[in-house]
Amino acid sequence: MFVSSLIDRIVDAALAEDLEGGDLTTEATVPADARAVARAVARSELVVCGGDVFARAFYRVDPGVRVERLLDEGADAKKGDVLWVAEGAARSLLMAERTALNFAQRMSGIATLARRYVRALPAGSRTRITDTRKTTPGLRALERYAVRTGGAHNHRDTLGSAVLIKDNHIQAAGGIGVAIERARARAPHTSKIEIEVASLSELDEALAAGADIVMLDNFAPDDVVTGVARAKGRALVEVSGGVTLERIAELAGKGVDVISSGALTHSAPSADIALDLERLG
């Protein structure tokens, strides 16, 4: 899934937020030699995601904790399913509980929403559902993994990974044509040029300048149809802005190549996962 150093860096930062100064309640009430088992239970239907990060939260608190994964990443879980089981010192389980659940709930929530978007596509559709860079600062790697686990795709990971000329770039460069010309001159020969357009007239400018991909931003439904027709055979068409789950089938049916939605990450509700602890012995 990830290199362990990346997970450790993210998990350690989250644990530091919770455990600065220790865990007063746990240390005051739970004997040091008490052992327990904790079961992560789905409280609603969800797509399982984040098992490695969930486990790592416990390992970083106490390497002696054992975590078992009962359901695979990407599995559809129903209410009442046990996803993961952690066993070890009761104090360690309690100290890591909130951090482990925060990651698991966030990642499973994103994966669940991504799968809903993908399943909204018509059967046999070649339209691709992608995320955007609207991710939680510091958690992009985890959130993008969750999008993939749900069956959707990632857009560019960083500003250096692809050329995407947006409205403010156009303003700063002095126009659509000049922006594309400069990008073509500077970008590696392996890089495609994508540009965001806000109207059919801007689309025409972008196509005339040789854009490889055009992003139709907040286009009306009829203009999407016109835009797809004008770009056919000349550029890939991406639709973004105001994309809801209810519009996925409609947009795919219009022949759109890519549907990008920031909602996959910035608006995904956390999955409902509880940790039920049982003392042993």
Which residue range is the domain that position 90 belongs to? 4-118+268-280
Q: What is the pTM of this model?
A: 0.95
Q: 152 and 42, same structural domain?
A: no
Please tell me the distance from the alpha carbon of residue 95 to that of residue 98, in angstroms, as a whole number. Answer: 7
- For 214-227, write each residue's pLDDT tens digit: 999 999 999 999 99
Q: At 117, which amino acid appears? A: Y
Q: 248 and 170, same structural domain?
A: yes
Q: Which residues are catalytic?
A: 98, 134, 166, 196, 217
**pLDDT the model gives residue 211:** 98
Q: 145 and 82, same structural domain?
A: no
**pLDDT the model gives residue 281:** 76
Please tell me the distance from the alpha carbon of residue 113 to that of residue 151, in angstroms, as a whole number. Answer: 10
Mean pLDDT of the chain: 96
Q: What is the CATH number of the domain that holds 9?
A: 3.90.1170.20
Q: 202 and 175, same structural domain?
A: yes
- pLDDT score of 235 more than 80: yes
- For 138-161, write each residue's pLDDT tens digit: 999 999 999 999 999 999 989 999
Q: 260 and 134, same structural domain?
A: yes
Report the domain count for the chain: 2
Six-digit token string for 108: 């499973």
Q: 260 and 183, same structural domain?
A: yes
- For 24-65, write each residue's pLDDT tens digit: 999 999 999 999 999 999 999 999 999 999 999 999 999 999
Q: 140 and 261, same structural domain?
A: yes
- 242's enclosing H/E stretch is none
193-197: strand order across its sheet: 128-130, 258-260, 236-240, 213-217, 193-197, 163-165
**pLDDT the model gives residue 242:** 87
User: Quick one: pLDDT band at residue 5, thresholds 50, 70, 90?
Assistant: confident
User: Quick one: pLDDT band at residue 1, thresholds 50, 70, 90?
Assistant: low
Please tell me the distance from the alpha carbon of residue 8 to that of residue 13, in angstroms, as a whole number. Answer: 8
What is the four-CA torsion angle of 116, 121, 124, 129, rounded to 10 degrees? -80
- pLDDT score of 100 more than 70: yes
Mean pLDDT score, 200-215: 98
Mean pLDDT score, 202-212: 98
Strand partners, 279: 36
Q: 96 and 174, same structural domain?
A: no
Q: 176 and 230, same structural domain?
A: yes
Could you tell me which of 215, 228, 229 has the C-alpha nearest to residue 261?
Answer: 215
Share of the chain above pLDDT 90, in %: 97
Mean pLDDT score, 102-130: 98
Q: 257 and 203, same structural domain?
A: yes
Q: 237 and 130, same structural domain?
A: yes
Mean pLDDT score, 257-266: 97
**pLDDT the model gives residue 214:** 98
Mean pLDDT score, 244-271: 97
Q: 245 and 128, same structural domain?
A: yes
Q: What is the CATH number of the domain that holds 238?
A: 3.20.20.70
